[in-house]
Amino acid sequence: MIVRRFFAAALLPCALLLCALGSTLSALDPAPATITPDNGKSIEGAVKDESIDGVVYLLNVGGAGPAVEAKLAAGKYRIEYRDVRELEYLRAQKLEESGKLADAAAGYLEAVTKTKFQFVKETAQVAAGRLYLAAKQFDPAIKVLTEFASSNPRSLKLPDALDLLGRAQQAKGDLDGALKTFDALSALTVWGPAATALGQIGKAAVLTEQKKPADAAGVLAVVFAKLPSEDEAFAKAGLALIAAQLAAGNTDAAMETVRRVAYASPLPAYQARAHLAWAQLFSDKADLASLTTAFDHACLATALRGADLSTRTEALRVARAVNTKLQADKSLTDAIKLEYKNYVQRL
């Protein structure tokens, strides 16, 4: 089952995008789905088209009378697509799960050409671009994602496609092209703050690669200040801002951003990464107060449920390294040193 959620907002001209606006209504088959308005009951229907403009769906499909077309263009709604993915899509998924990234990407492209449903087509095409990027096949990634953005200027998946496209261009060394793509992504205010934040994060990454960390921090500070702390975009922008501030040599500002992400974000995965950054900021120091601070936050990063494996692994490494320094600290009693040693062993 695939779930989509739409948030209505005032629309901007498509001139901000990579291509001219065109109709996104497809000639593909309507996809069976359950549509649930936030202020109403669930509706069984078939989705003809779903985009940032809303959803167009059919009622009474297969009923005694003719099917009736309906639209939801405002407010909030949720769509649960029934499991209608075809063999080509499922085969590509299996290849991805087995780690055959380029083969899986090619499989998803085959699914794009054979599927009967819009949401499968869009999902598969973006997946192909993502996997070509992961496989470091940048030219195919750029081709697939550029074609997606050109053909689907109102797609809910456009922000993801532009983010992947910008990263593929950056990885290939086309920094000017990446900046243009991330600027286009930043302009997608209709898609919500997560999309614009994604564009600013990408732009900051390019500026950092161009040896402009202060500019990168400036870009991120603006978007970070505007985002509500409960949004995932707040945490993503905050972590990127920390890295930019440290690269610019602004440790005090980075520490303040670390505190905000660690304590204001409600998302454990990002809290853990912020606590890891906190530990790393103090782990290289020699004084006991700094080392105990580093140890505590490294342990928090390992203990938070939802922390990803790479965060937990690095936090455990930091905790062990700091414990080694604590064991050598002559101001600590043997009993306290044993407590630290036992704690590390339980992580």
* 266 DSSP 8-state letter: -
**What distances in angstroms separate CA 317 from CA 60, 117, 278, 310, one per listed residue?**
59, 47, 14, 11
3-state SS, residue 60: coil
H helices then E strands: how many in the chain?
A: 14, 6
**Are 194 and 159 contacting, i.e. CB atoms less than 8 angstroms apart?**
yes
Q: Residue 27's pLDDT is what?
A: 66
Strands 31-37 and 43-51: antiparallel
* 12 DSSP 8-state letter: P
Query: Length of the chain in residues, anyone?
Result: 347
- Cα 228-229-230 angle, rounded to 5 deg: 95
Q: Residue 11's pLDDT is what?
A: 32
Which tokens go with 332? 């600590």
**Are 108 and 92 contacting, i.e. CB atoms less than 8 angstroms apart?**
yes
Q: How far apart are CA 103 and CA 100, in angstroms?
A: 5
3-state SS, residue 202: helix
| Neighbouring residues of 6: CB distance < 8 A, sequence distance ≥ 6 | 50, 52, 54, 55, 72, 76, 77, 79, 156
- Which residue shows structure tokens 């992400």? 261
Q: How far apart are CA 160 and CA 174, in angstroms?
A: 19
Q: How far apart are CA 337 and CA 323, in angstroms?
A: 8
**Are 146 and 164 contacting, i.e. CB atoms less than 8 angstroms apart?**
no
In tens digits, the chain (347 residues) has pLDDT values of: 444 443 333 333 333 333 333 333 346 888 889 998 887 889 888 888 889 988 888 887 777 777 788 888 645 778 888 876 689 999 999 999 999 999 999 999 999 999 999 999 999 999 999 999 999 999 999 999 999 999 999 999 999 999 999 999 999 999 999 999 999 999 999 998 889 999 999 999 999 999 999 999 999 999 999 999 999 999 999 999 999 999 999 999 999 999 999 999 999 999 999 999 999 999 999 999 999 999 999 999 999 999 999 999 999 999 999 999 999 999 999 999 999 999 999 98
Q: How far apart are CA 287 and CA 88, in angstroms?
A: 59
Q: Residue 101's pLDDT is what?
A: 97
